[in-house]
Amino acid sequence: MGPAHPECAARLDAIEDRLLISGVMDALQRFDAPKASVHDLELAHTRLHVAAMRGLDLLMQEELQAGGDGHSQIDTDTMLGPHTWNAALRSAGAVLLATDMVMSGQLNNAFCATRPPGHHAEHDKAMGFCFFNNIAVGVMYALHRYQLQRVAVVDFDVHHGNGTEDILAKEPKALMVGFFQHPFYPNSGEVAKGENMLNIPIPAYTKGMDVREMIDMLWTPRLEAFKPEMIFISAGFDAHREDDMGQLMLNESDYTWITRMVMDVAERHAKGRIVSSLEGGYVPDALARSVEAHVRVLAGL
């Protein structure tokens, strides 16, 4: 998205380096992300939105060939570049491949280390570094392709997953639980859009132990009552205390604890089926350590 933008390729480089150096990568199976089809994107997005993103991509390609920089400003934070379309297709495609592999039993669970992120993308709108809502596409695909009756989303990004709520709020077979710093971008989530939404606003500088208590009191009973057949995780790590994108005070041990909680629910109700996908996290070292903690639990290390 241009020089000095926080949503940059260095994020994935830091994750890969950390998993290699720590030895965690040795215990993982690794797959390249395929491109999602337009049909799959339209499970969560309007045809007009998908077409608009494709149209902007074609315009950027023409501009690049004409000697321009091939970038288009979506909003003050979000810029579409000459490679955005293909990257966004693969980011959503990773979640779809992971869903297929987990549902088939080839994998117990999966973590999708991809960008761009997705949880701010609404059914008809790109925003907040996000173009397509990777997790919502995965949820709708799981519901349609595998005829699941109960699919849950867990979102622990520092920002409210407004796009996921926008897409899933009227879907009775989905449940979303999350927490987010409030007041904060995107200035939503305080009032739920549907009865299947449990997104908890918490103030800046809330510590990890307080977040854990909130999860025990609110998330866990709701997830247990819902009995999800599959769980998707919007894994944003910008609630880390070292990440200056937000002002929450979580650390790696908190992400370990949250991941274990989700795995416990999945083991009881969903045959362990989890697909997690990267959202935020913009300080490379803190992001990499947090992802390592998350993946260690998923991999049983």
d(CA 283, CA 71): 24
Contact 278, 112 (CB under 8 A): yes
* pLDDT given for residue 3 in this prediction: 79
Kindly report, residue by residue over 24-78, the tens digit of the pLDDT. Answer: 999 999 999 999 999 999 999 999 999 999 999 999 999 999 998 888 999 999 9
List active site positions. Answer: 120
- Which parts of the chain have pLDDT scores under 50? none
> In the chain, what are the domain boundaries?
10-299
Question: How far is 229 from 4, CA to CA, in rounded Å?
Answer: 41
Instruction: State residue 114's pLDDT score.
Output: 97
- In the prediction, which pLDDT does 99 show? 98
Q: Rounded CA gap, 206 and 156, in Å? A: 13
Give me the architecture of the 10-299 domain, per CATH: 3-Layer(aba) Sandwich (3.40)
